[in-house]
Amino acid sequence: DCDHLFFTCPFSVSCWGSLDIYWDMSMDIRDRVRAAKASFSGPSFIMIFLCAAWQIWKQRNSFIFDRSPPSLSSWFAGFKQELFLLSHRIKENHRSILLAWLESLVIPS
């Protein structure tokens, strides 16, 4: 189900952990996202959340359709690329903060 795919499977937990995003699974989805947003210290939580979830979905599709095992480094590279492309849609002062945060991330091993 969606909770497993995006929040509780070990691969997803590793993805979120690399961004310092942690989920309280005792909450419903709305409260879970609100709580994660409130505890997130980085910028542009919703954009980051959506890009990360999209890349988790793409990793799942690669596994289902191409038999390619999920890879944290592949997920991370796709996440960074997608977020960089989307950064051009936000105001310059927010973009520079987002890009600085993005550059500070370390590729998970």
In a domain, 15, yes or no: yes
Domain membership of residue 6 (yes or no) is yes
The answer to the question of residue 1 being in a domain is yes
**Pair of tokens at residue 25:** 């699974």
Residue 109 forms part of a structural domain? no
Q: Report pLDDT for 58.
A: 97
Per-residue pLDDT at 107 exceeds 80: no
For 45, list phi and psi in degrees, rounded to 5: -55, -50
Model pTM score: 0.90
pLDDT at 1: 86
Phi, psi for 21 (deg, rounded to 5): -115, 125
The rounded Cα 20 to chain-centroid distance in angstroms is 10
Q: Is residue 49 part of a domain?
A: yes
Range 102-106, long-range pairs (CB < 8 A, 24+ positions): 105/18, 105/19, 105/76, 105/80
Q: How far is residue 32's CA from residue 28's CA, in Å, rounded to a whole number?
A: 6
Q: Quick: pLDDT tens for 15-65.
A: 999 999 999 999 999 999 999 999 999 999 999 999 999 999 999 999 999
Q: Supply the DSSP symbol for 27.
A: S
Domain span at residue 92? 1-104
In total, how many domains does the chain have? 1
